[in-house]
Amino acid sequence: MGDPLKTQRWLRAVVGTLALGAIVFYAMAVVVREGQAVLVTRFGRPLRVASQAGLHWKLPWPIDDASLLDMRRRVYETGHTEMLTRDKKNIIARTFVVWRIGDPLAFTQSIGKEEAAEGKLDGLLTNAAIGTLGGHDLSALVSTNPADLQVDQIETELLTSAAPVARRSYGVTIEQIRLERISLPEENVRAVFDQMRAERRQFAAKFEAEGELEASRIRSEADLEAARIRAKGAEEQARIRGKSAAEIAKIYADAHRINPELYRFTRSLESLDKLVTGNTSLILRTDSEPFSLLQSKEKR
Amino acid sequence: MRHVATSSEVGRLAAPIARGLDAAWQRMHWWVATMLVLYTVSGTTIVRPDEVAIVLRWGRLVGDTAAQQEHGPGLLFSFPRPMDRVIRVPVKRVWEVPVTALAPAAALDDEPMSSSTLDPLTQGYALTGDRNVVHVEIVARYRVRDAAEWAFYGPQSDNVMRVEVTAAVVRSIGEMGVDRVLADGRKDLAATASRRVQAGLDGAHAGLELSSLEFTRLMPPFALAADFNAVQSAYISAETRRKEAQAFAGTAVPQARGDAETGVQSVRGAAEGDRARADGEAAAFLALDREYRANPAVVRERLYRDAVERAIAKAAGVRWIPPPVNGRYSGFRITLGSGGPARAGFDDEKP
């Protein structure tokens, strides 16, 4: 065990040093976080800007004062602005910007509060948009022809037009300006609706006509194909019949050539057989066969 | 002398504080020691499975590369504040933001708007490349890709995502015709818009990655719904007619093929039959010829009589007349009946 008096003195010294150190630290240290900057002023006069993250020092208040600034990027959407394109079309455009504080001192001096920056940007951007879009046709914004579209170029022109002014006048760095919406004035939308309606009717009629045409074509082709198949079948039938007739003629000719007289005789008898039907009346002489047999007996 | 006096004056003023400190230390030294220990370990952080942690030391990011800066799930030891500050970023979590800037105002409560025009300030829509109007509603899903950029430099996530998606979709629709947008071009539209959204996020240093872009609504204005439906109906009707014609073709051609084949087979069968009959008749004739050559008179007589008998048997009537006198008949008439057999007889015969 040590001397209690010594321990008490040692404790008093440690606590006193720590308390004093803490007071001095909080009065003089400025911790700048990533994404922040600090503007140090001495009796209100800007002294320096610390934009690197880390521990920075200043003299205690009221000699030096430190104002922390949020250096993060922000998004701001402008209002809807009606403007005229080069081909005299009325459009309503809306843009958005991605911006950040680029020069903390200039920003603090010209704008002061971060909330006020967007009001300044709105006017700047609207002015830039009217000037830029007035130099392009509407087809540069919306077109099915890729060669007409110039949105990238327009956005670059907007940036080129607005960014230097924003930096110089307000200490604001504009990193992107994009066209967010492109609309038409209300009265023009009515005309667009009429045009769309007419187009739809045209499409409907076109579909109907094309469907009818296609159906007719398919039916005609089927009919033609069917006729072609039937004709080919008929041709085949005729060929078979002809070949068969020739073969039959040859068979008969080969047989009948052996005894033409017998053929003529049997053929005559066949003809007789065919010609005499149930409606036939025969007139025979009594001296013809077989009735002649009776006459022969009488004579005998 | 002055120095001693000053020291004793300070000591006299600090004496009550020193006495209070001494008394507190006597009574609460364990409690004070515990608080000191707790403060020392207060920088320890638990990083959850869907998070990474980044450490700021005196405000400056610790580590030069992303691998050094980001600490994965588990226990992370750091110095207590104000020296270190730990920021946990949920990099694995997928966030969702609905984008309704291009949707009609009433779309959210499902009340159809059938006005013959649209106020661009209250009704969202996009212009197509052929200058038609379509309404779009989108849901964008995203996650944090670069924790440090997102935490310290990027703009507010939902805001930047909403405007980037709106701009990308407006631009992508502005390059396409309305029929592509509403029908077969949706996939291309989503792909093009997604690519543009990601490029925009990268340009804005948002530290975000687009996971998916879903079109939850993509349609013509309510006022034109009937006209678009009519086109759809016409298309379906045309398709129906085409399919009916194809069905007809599918039946007619095989039927013709079947008819032709049946006809050919029938003729082929008949020809076979005719040929067989001819063979048979030829064979019969040759047989008859053999008999005829052996006994010509008998065969001839028999054939003749057989034929006459068959004729007499088949005939409706047989009239026997005497042989002509001097080579001619006198008073013999043949009367052709209407529908019945002919009548023959001599004038002097009784009927």
What is the pLDDT at residue B13? 79
- Which comes out higher in pLDDT, residue B87 or B14? B87
* Residue numbers of A between 170 and 189 with CB closer than 8 Å to B: 175-176, 178-187, 189
Among A163-172, A238-247, B86-95, B109-118, the minimum mean pLDDT is found in B109-118
Contact A144 B175 (CB under 8 A): yes
Q: What are the chain B neighbours of A254 within 8 Å (beta carbons)? A: 282
Give phi and psi for B337, each to the nearest 5: -80, 155
Task: Name the residue of chain A whose CA is nearest to B306's CA.
Answer: A269
pLDDT band at B301 (very low <50, low <70, confident <90, very high): confident
Q: Is the pLDDT of residue A127 over 60?
A: yes
- Which comes out higher in pLDDT, residue A146 or B115? A146
Task: Name the residue of chain B whose CA is nearest to A56's CA.
Answer: B58
The C-alpha of B27 sits at a distance from chain A's nearest C-alpha, in angstroms, of: 14
- Which comes out higher in pLDDT, residue B6 or A173? A173
Q: Is the pLDDT of residue B314 over 50?
A: yes
The alpha carbon dihedral of B206, B207, B212, B216 has a sign of: negative
Other CB atoms within 10 Å distance of the CB of residue A248: 19
Pairing state between β B317-321 and A281-285:
parallel
Describe the crossing of helices B225-294 and A260-275 by its angle, rounded to 10 degrees.
120
Among B5-14, B61-70, B126-135, the minimum mean pLDDT is found in B5-14
Q: How far are the Cα atoms of A226, A228, A240, B207, B284 from residue A235, in angstroms, in the given order?
A: 14, 10, 9, 80, 33
Encoded amino acid at B343, one letter: R
Contact A255 B255 (CB under 8 A): no
pLDDT band at B320 (very low <50, low <70, confident <90, very high): confident
Task: Name the residue of chain B whose CA is nearest to A184's CA.
Answer: B120
What is the pLDDT at residue B205? 92
Percentage, residues of chain A above pLDDT 90:
61
When CB atoms are compared, the residue of A176, A190, A199 closest to B116 is: A190
As for the ipTM of the complex, it is 0.73
What is the pLDDT at residue B7? 62
What is the pLDDT at residue B4? 46
What is the pLDDT at residue B20? 79
What is the pLDDT at residue A99? 94
User: Which SS3 state, helix, strand or coil, does residue B324 take?
Assistant: coil
What is the pLDDT at residue B337? 66
What is the pLDDT at residue B2? 44
Give phi and psi for A147, each to the nearest 5: -65, -25
A298 and B CB contact within 8 Å? no
pLDDT band at B54 (very low <50, low <70, confident <90, very high): very high
> Cα separation of A97 and A278, whole Å?
114
pLDDT band at A295 (very low <50, low <70, confident <90, very high): low
Encoded amino acid at B39, one letter: Y
Contact B224 A210 (CB under 8 A): no
When CB atoms are compared, the residue of B231, B245, B321 closest to A215 is: B245
> Cα separation of A72 and B227, whole Å?
49
Among A7-21, A133-147, A175-189, B223-237, the minimum mean pLDDT is found in A7-21
Torsion of CA B19, B21, B27, B32, to 10 degrees: -170
The C-alpha of A184 sits at a distance from chain B's nearest C-alpha, in angstroms, of: 7
Per-residue b/e over B14-39, b at no fewer than 16 CB within 10 Å? Answer: eeeebeebeeeeeeeeeeeeeeeeee
The per-residue pLDDT of chain A, averaged, comes to 89
B98 and A CB contact within 8 Å? no
pLDDT band at B114 (very low <50, low <70, confident <90, very high): low
What is the pLDDT at residue A294? 64
DSSP A102-143: S-HHHHHHHT-SGGGHHHHHHHHHHHHHHHHHTTS-GGGTS-
- Which comes out higher in pLDDT, residue B113 or B137? B137
Contact A189 B117 (CB under 8 A): yes
Task: Name the residue of chain A whose CA is nearest to B148's CA.
Answer: A34
* Residue numbers of A between 253 and 282 with CB closer than 8 Å to B: 254-256, 258-259, 262-263, 265-266, 269, 272-273, 276-282
Q: Is the pLDDT of residue B263 over 90?
A: yes
pLDDT band at A299 (very low <50, low <70, confident <90, very high): very low
Other CB atoms within 10 Å distance of the CB of residue B307: 19
Q: Is the pLDDT of residue A289 over 70?
A: no
Q: Is the pLDDT of residue A107 over 90?
A: yes
Among A141-150, B7-16, B341-350, the minimum mean pLDDT is found in B341-350
Among A101-115, B22-36, B148-162, B303-317, the minimum mean pLDDT is found in B22-36
What is the pLDDT at residue B28? 76
Q: Which two tokens stand for residue B137?
A: 């509603």
* Residue numbers of A between 220 and 239 with CB closer than 8 Å to B: 221-223, 225-227, 229-230, 232-234, 236-237
Percentage, residues of chain A above pLDDT 70:
95
pLDDT band at B242 (very low <50, low <70, confident <90, very high): very high
The C-alpha of A90 sits at a distance from chain B's nearest C-alpha, in angstroms, of: 13
The per-residue pLDDT of chain B, averaged, comes to 87
What is the pLDDT at residue B5? 47
A73 and B CB contact within 8 Å? yes
User: Which SS3 state, helix, strand or coil, does residue B91 take?
Assistant: coil
Q: What are the chain A neighbours of B204 within 8 Å (beta carbons)? A: 73, 75, 98, 175-176
Give the pLDDT confidence of B185-208 residue by residue, as tens digits: 889 999 999 999 999 999 999 999
Q: How far are the Cα atoms of A204, A226, B110, B246 from residue A215, in angstroms, in the given order?
A: 16, 16, 40, 8
Q: Is the pLDDT of residue A218 over 90?
A: yes
> Cα separation of B4 and B208, whole Å?
68
What is the pLDDT at residue A118? 87
